[in-house]
Every structure is written in C-alpha cells, then in structure tokens.
Amino acid sequence: MLVAKLGQELAERGHEVMIFVGSSQSYAANNPNVRFFNDNKAFATYTPPKEDEMKAMSSRSQLVQLFTLQSLFCDEMLNNVELMKEVSRADLIVGELLYVCSSLVADKLSLPHVILSAPTLSSPTAFAFRLPFSPSYVPQWGIHLSDEWSILDRSMNLLQWMLNYMTYAQELCSRYSNIKAKHNITPDKSIHETLGRVDLIIGQTYFGLEHPRPFYPNTRVVGPFLPSPAKPLPSELEQFVQSAGDEGVILVSFGSVVGEYTGISESLLQVMAEAFSTLPQKVVWKLKLAGTSKISVSDKVKVMSWLPQNDILGHPKTRLFIGHAGINGILETTYHGVPMICSPFFGDQFDNARMVKRAGFGEVVDLAATSLEELVNLIRKVLSEPSYRESAVRISKSVKLLPRPPVKEAADWIEYTQAQGGLQFLRPRGLDMPFYQLYCLDILLLAFLILTAFVFVISILLKIGFSGSTTKQKTN
C-alpha cells in the first residue's frame, strides 16, 4: 500500500513506474504498475512455521524467519533474466527498509538507490545503512522504555542494541552474502558495503510519536503516506453509523492478522462480542467469520469482512479504534485524531503500541489475558477520560499542518535523486571511516604517546639535574 501510493504519485508526474511483486502475492494484482515474477521456487524451498510455533517464537526468531523468506525471494528475483533485463532500464531503484534486496539490485546495476521505511527507523535492518541510533539515548527495537532512563534502563537498551546487531550480522548478512556471491555482485566489495549502498532514506513514521533522534543529511522523515481526508461511507454503513447517535461508534479491526482466527481464538472473539454488546456505542468490526463459527453478536455490532478503515476513522461519529498496532493503522488514527486501544501480536506491533501509549492517545492490552470486565472497563476509561482525545487531536493537528503532503514530498526527493544521478554527496564521510578514525582513537593514541614521551623526557632531565646537584653537594 505504501509503495503503491508513491508509485501512483510518480506515475501521475509522467514517470514509468514498475513495482515488482512475487506472483503468489495476489493482493497486488489490481495495481497497474505491478510486474509479477515467478516465486514458486522460493515457496517450495521455504517451510513456514506452524501457527502455534510462530506464537511461541521470540522477536529475534521471527526476524530470522522473515530474513530467510526474503532471501529466497531475492535469489528468485536475481535468477530471473528477463526481470533483471527490465530492471536494468530503470533510472533509479526504490526499496524498503525491511527488505534489503534492493541494495543488491542497485549495486549490481550501478543505479541510484532510495529506501522507504514504513515502520520505525530503528529496525534491525537499519544497521545496513548505518543509521545513527545510539543506545545511550535512542530506544532500540524490541525494548520499551519511558522518557526518563535509569542506569538499568540504559544497560538493557545497550544489551538490546547488541542483540539486534548480532541478529543483523549473523542472520541477515550471512544470507545476503551467499546471494551476493552466487550472482557475482561487486565481488570487490564486502556485504556490508553492498547492503549499505543507499543515496536517500525516506521515513514515514511521524517524528511526533517517536523519541527524538539525529539523522544524517541523506535521511528525510516526511510523515505518513496513507492517511487522507475521509470519503463518504457506503450508504448502508453510513446509516448504521448515524444510528449510533451521540454515543458514536467504535471501529475494531486487526487487519489481516485475524483472518480465519489466526492469532485470536474463537473463545476470545466471543468475549469481545459480549463486551461490545454491553457498551452504549455501536461497533463496526472487521472480521471474517468461518462458516462453522458459533460467535453471536448483538444488533449493536456490524461485522464486515472488508471496510474502508481510513474513511471510518475520519467520520465525526468515530470515538475509538481497537486494533493490532500496525503502523499504517496507527498513522491513519493519528491523522484523524481518534484514541486507540492496541493489542499487538508480533513483530513491530509491540513497539508501535508502546509508542501510542507514550504519546498519550491510547492504551495497550493483551486481549488473550484480559477478562470481559477488564476489557469493558478499559474501553470506558479511554472513552471517558478527555486526555486521550486531547492527545489524539493535538497529534492530528501537527500532522495536518505539515507544509507538504508526505507522499508528494517523498516523490519530490525521488525526482531530485534521479535528476542528480544519486545523492552520494549527502553521505557523511564518517560512514566510510574505520572506527578508530571515526572516534579519533588514533589521535588520542598519538596524543598519549606524545604526552608519555614528554613526561619521560622531563623525568630524565629532572633525574639528571637532581643527580648533578647531589654530586656537587658531596664534592663541596
């Protein structure tokens, strides 16, 4: 969705845009800019973990699974001669922060390279681009800290930085190093040099939600791509929303996480249905019920297998959004100034949920460990306390006051990169320096040696002078 919105903007400006997607990803079939490539071998090679195994995995193990599948996709793409011939005609490559295969493609074809970041710029894959996120004051991916850190907090953050770097170096680099060698991509470069080949990084995570942090000149945070002013709802849905009166409606959507109950048991769905039936608000619930489902919902709840999420969030009667803390859902929520209740399931959703709580416009809950009464009380709390709505409106105002629509600003920078033939002049010299030069260790060593030599000479001179004075005194 992120890439498609940017691709549409660039196409409307007269550019030829090609978005390459594996043929198994049927959701992209309706996009006119999409070009499919055969990914059958990638899926034939990969054995995905079972649902219960995925739930039990640590965040690091889930990343390893992601890197494994992505490396197979990357190899399949580079194997496709016709596809690579088509890509070679491009003036510029646009990739994504979580899928670093674009670095190999750009390096192989010597093309300018732009990276988009949908989630936080602190993702472990950001190590490839040497983004500055010092563990002394920038929260690392997978750790949740308040604004004020104790020495224990900083120690935990440093440990998480080390774990994330190990995951990047041992898991991601090793897989892409094999692909790089197999396809003979710039053999004179290390895998770190190839993966770090980027001219421009564009982030959409709004900086009002994350901890302040520095960026290099080649990084631009433009704001959220997908949120937009709400369009009118379909007539049937509009009637249901209007029937809610002054109490308004609650939107419940877990994106593609739930599916056929993936991640949420049917018993938990029934608890949620009972909780919604006790509320004065009406509920619009995105849920695909199986034919054998025994879940019963009240007349206050409208269940839909698909819904226009952005348009519902922008409706004046929407009072609350309950979701899984996907980054696009959060950014749409902030744009429209709606409070949230987040129930994360995996990956970056835990970090996103904590970001919502820290910003003051939502709460975090583990639905699987929450009783009916606790869920109802939490919903009532977020709805009744003005601070949640006030924080959401404040952030919404700051997003809407951005001087340039984010997707247009991103397209501006991509056109600028294309016109310049790359933006390597924005790459800090320090990224290519060995660590001892970067941190002036060689200068400190030289200064230490000079100081040591000076002290040594002075001590020798003093010793000679002292011994000469003693000899003269004895002679007298």
Is 448 found in the same domain as 413?
no
pLDDT for 237 equals 95
At 220 the pLDDT is 93
Contacts for 144-147: CB closer than 8 Å, 24+ residues apart: 144/350, 144/351, 144/354, 146/358, 147/211, 147/358
- The answer to whether residue 474 sits within a structural domain is no
d(C-alpha 244, C-alpha 433), whole Å: 62
> 447 and 423, same structural domain?
no
Domain-located, residue 472: no
Looking at residue 90, its pLDDT comes to 95
| Domain co-membership, 219 together with 113 | yes
Q: What is the Cα–Cα distance from 141 to 133, expressed in whole angstroms?
A: 10
Indicate whether 40 and 145 sit together in one domain: yes
pLDDT at res. 26: 83
What CATH number has the domain bearing residue 344?
3.40.50.2000
Given this model, what pLDDT does residue 133 score? Answer: 83
Q: HSE on the CB side for 333, CA within 13 Å?
A: 34
- At 151, list the tokens: 């020495």
Answer yes or no: is 396 within a domain.
yes
For 272, the domain range is: 235-400
Return the number of other C-beta atoms located less than 10 Å from residue 380's C-beta: 14
Q: What's the pLDDT score for residue 327?
A: 87
Predicted local distance difference test score (pLDDT) of residue 290: 65
pLDDT value of residue 53: 67
Same domain? 268 vs 150: no
- Say whether both 32 and 139 belong to one domain: yes
Tens-digit pLDDT string for the chain (476 aa)? 889 999 999 999 999 999 998 888 888 888 889 998 888 887 777 777 766 666 667 777 888 888 988 999 999 999 999 999 999 999 999 999 989 999 999 999 999 999 999 878 888 899 999 888 888 888 888 787 777 888 898 899 999 999 999 999 999 999 999 999 999 999 999 999 999 999 999 998 766 677 788 889 999 999 999 899 999 999 999 999 999 999 999 999 987 654 443 457 778 888 899 999 999 999 999 987 765 567 788 889 999 988 999 999 999 999 999 999 888 899 999 999 999 999 988 777 888 898 899 889 999 998 888 889 999 999 999 999 999 999 999 999 988 999 999 999 999 999 999 999 999 899 888 888 888 888 889 999 999 999 999 999 998 888 887 776 666 665 65
Is 274 domain-assigned? yes
Are 21 and 159 members of one domain?
Answer: yes
Q: Is residue 170 part of a domain?
A: yes
Whether residue 348 sits in one domain with residue 281: yes
Check whether residue 141 and residue 15 sit in a common domain.
Answer: yes
**476 occurs within a structural domain:** no
pTM of the model: 0.85
**Would you state the pLDDT for residue 260?**
42
Q: Are residues 87 and 197 in the same domain?
A: yes
* Structural domain count, the chain: 3
The answer on 141 and 58 residing in a single domain is yes
Same domain, 168 and 251: no
State the pairing for strand pair 200-203/113-117. parallel
